[in-house]
Structure 1
Amino acid sequence: MDGVDHIERTDTDGAGGGNGDPRRALGGFLRARRSRVAPEHVGLAVGGRRRVRGLRREELAQLAGISVDYYVRLEQGRATQPSPEVLDALARALGLEAAERKHLATLTAARRGPVPATRVSPLLRRLLDAAEGFPAFVTNPRADVVAWNALGAELLGGLGDPGRRDRNNARYLFLDPASWSVFPDWEDRALEAVGQLRVSQGHYPDDSELAGLLAELTSHSDDFRRIWDTGEVLMCTAGRRRLCHPVAGLLTLDYETLHVPAAPGETGLVVHVYTAEEGSEDAAALARLGRQSCQ
């Protein structure tokens, strides 16, 4: 990842979490996390040859103070709503950080149904247009780009023209070879896209469009399957990215992600804004691109 990115990290098991079966996401998360805990780091003696990486099921159950049978049911998806006390015990035993605890709680929350309809307010559209010197675009939980300004559309490969670029960021990244040219650090961007989809799946496990997108990417992209199966979730909120444009050239830009609160019955949106350091060559190149986008 870029050295200046600010990242929240959680890990889940791609196969066990099941991009096709979100009801098993809790078990996948627990399997992935226990596989990363070295027994000696939690005070367990290691003797002989171990057939599993990390903690065994019975070891984690013992550390959390729950029965092995109940823990097995959690991993197998036969128990999906443990009590807050059990969640706290598992989080402590696994050494989860704050972001990881939040993701664990999401996976055990009551099912929320599909992603509600997206509505981009007139105010948000006016804000995008007013920020004409700052490339900006808006995404929903399915990684669909639902709004943008002219400079943002041009910077990211032609959002304004559906013939040039798919308006789903994940589909664009994994199924359009042109994305490799736009994002020199393609692997980092792909990791972020998978992380955002995994979090969305945790919030909206019954969303058929999201499930269809995951199935499509799984079927047609080896890279998506590889990254999904690592189980790692990256959620970048701010940092620095490199982008390449045929006119502006290679740009190194700072970015922020701003969350727009959801109105009742509507989904929350994320606004992505790019800036260049004032007086820099990147700022001059971005200005040239801005003039072109207005023509």
Structure 2
Amino acid sequence: MDGRRSELGDFLRSRRQRLRPESVGLPATRRRRTPGLRREEVAELAGIGVDWYVRLEQGRDVNPSLTTIDAIARALKLGESEHNHLRSLARHGDRRAFAKETVPEAVRRVVESLPHPSYVIGRRWDVLAWNEAAEEIFAWGRIPEGSRNTLLCVLTNPVTRRLFGSGWEDEARRMVAQFRKTHDLWAGDPAFVELLDRLHEGSAEFDGWWKAHDIRDGTAGIKKFMHPKKGTLRFQHASFQCNDDPALKLVIYTPA
């Protein structure tokens, strides 16, 4: 049972347990021992066999068609982001072991030349390149390379945590839900396992958020920082995929 199939099962189970019977037109009863819908109810709503659906939740070696996945998504009332994530998890094919990305020199020079805080991250959210304006806020140059990861910094580094002030929890939860989309496709890879171990060990809040299996898309927006020297800073942020290597993402902050 590979990591992706296991995450597919966990994702289905988490969404099934969140649904109330009455929300899908089923009568509510007092006999339910577990929250949410029963597996057989989801299977019936999706028009598939119960045993087959059970095998999916158990992470077994089954290959659902796109039509079946879409039917399950409708039965579970998944949103667009969740539906797309379910489709991604159901895809099959060989996957090479994760290798940390390298930023092309031309991309690095562009980032370093930008006047506003900018940086490049990889699929595991490792910080791979940044400019002086970003260094003034995040001080990544003072962090050991093995810990230079946006999730590790926000969830386990007290200095970075203080940057977000009272907004830290909302930001941290959002990041965990966004990262979950990528992680599930690399589940079981040693590099991702090592990162999860460090997050579980270094953050008291992470375990509960991770078990919730929330999924979010990355979106542009406003971030506010409480900088110890610069005071309150507000930025509009947006991210862009690099044509040189689609695994790289450029993040740019401009004053809001």
So what's the TM-score if we normalise by structure 2?
Answer: 0.90
Q: 2:233 maps to which residue?
A: 251
Letter in 1 for 2:65: S
The answer to whether the aligner puts 1:124 opposite 2:103 as a matched pair is no
Q: Deviations over 1:23-51 (max 9, x none)?
A: 31011111111122221121112233322
After superposition, the Cα gap between the structure-2 partners of 1:192 and 1:136, relative to the gap in structure 1 and judged at 3 Å, is: same
Q: Distance in 1 between matches of 2:126 and 2:30?
A: 50
Residue 57 (structure 1) shift: 0.6
Structure 2 counterpart SS, 1:211: helix
Residue 171 (structure 1) shift: 1.5
Q: 2:151 maps to which residue?
A: 170
Q: Distance in 2 between matches of 1:57 and 1:262?
A: 44
The answer to whether the aligner puts 1:101 opposite 2:80 as a matched pair is no
Structure 1 counterpart SS, 2:238: strand
The answer to whether the aligner puts 1:218 opposite 2:197 as a matched pair is no
Moved over 6 A (4+): none
Residue 99 (structure 1) shift: 1.4
How many aligned residue pairs are there? Answer: 253
Residue 262 (structure 1) shift: 5.8
Structure 2 counterpart SS, 1:125: helix
The answer to whether the aligner puts 1:207 opposite 2:212 as a matched pair is no
The answer to whether the aligner puts 1:152 opposite 2:131 as a matched pair is no
Q: Could you tell me whether the CA contact under 8 Å between 1:138 and 1:145 is conserved in 2?
A: yes
Q: What RMSD over aligned residues (CA atoms) do the two structures have, in Å?
A: 2.2
Q: 1:114 maps to which residue?
A: 97
Q: Deviations over 1:125-153 (max 9, x none)?
A: 12212212x11111111111001011012
After superposition, the Cα gap between the structure-2 partners of 1:238 and 1:75, relative to the gap in structure 1 and judged at 3 Å, is: same
Q: Distance in 1 between matches of 2:146 and 2:136?
A: 11
Q: Could you tell me whether the CA contact under 8 Å between 1:191 and 1:233 is conserved in 2?
A: no
Residue 164 (structure 1) shift: 11
Letter in 2 for 1:70: W
Structure 2 counterpart SS, 1:49: coil
Q: 1:275 maps to which residue?
A: 254
Q: Deviations over 1:218-257 (max 9, x none)?
A: 2342211121122212333201111121221111211111
Q: 1:181 maps to which residue?
A: 162
Q: Distance in 2 between matches of 1:119 and 1:166?
A: 17
Aligned sequence identity (%) = 37
The answer to whether the aligner puts 1:58 opposite 2:40 as a matched pair is yes
Residue 54 (structure 1) shift: 1.8
Structure 2 counterpart SS, 1:101: helix
Structure 1 counterpart SS, 2:141: coil
After superposition, the Cα gap between the structure-2 partners of 1:218 and 1:165, relative to the gap in structure 1 and judged at 3 Å, is: closer
Higher helix proportion, which one?
2
After superposition, the Cα gap between the structure-2 partners of 1:86 and 1:99, relative to the gap in structure 1 and judged at 3 Å, is: same
After superposition, the Cα gap between the structure-2 partners of 1:86 and 1:161, relative to the gap in structure 1 and judged at 3 Å, is: same
Q: Distance in 2 between matches of 1:165 and 1:117?
A: 11
So what's the TM-score if we normalise by structure 1?
Answer: 0.79
Q: Distance in 2 between matches of 1:242 and 1:256?
A: 14
Q: Distance in 1 between matches of 2:239 and 2:228?
A: 25
- Give matches, 1:7-156, under 5 Å: 21-110=3-92, 111-132=94-115, 134-156=116-138
After superposition, the Cα gap between the structure-2 partners of 1:114 and 1:197, relative to the gap in structure 1 and judged at 3 Å, is: farther
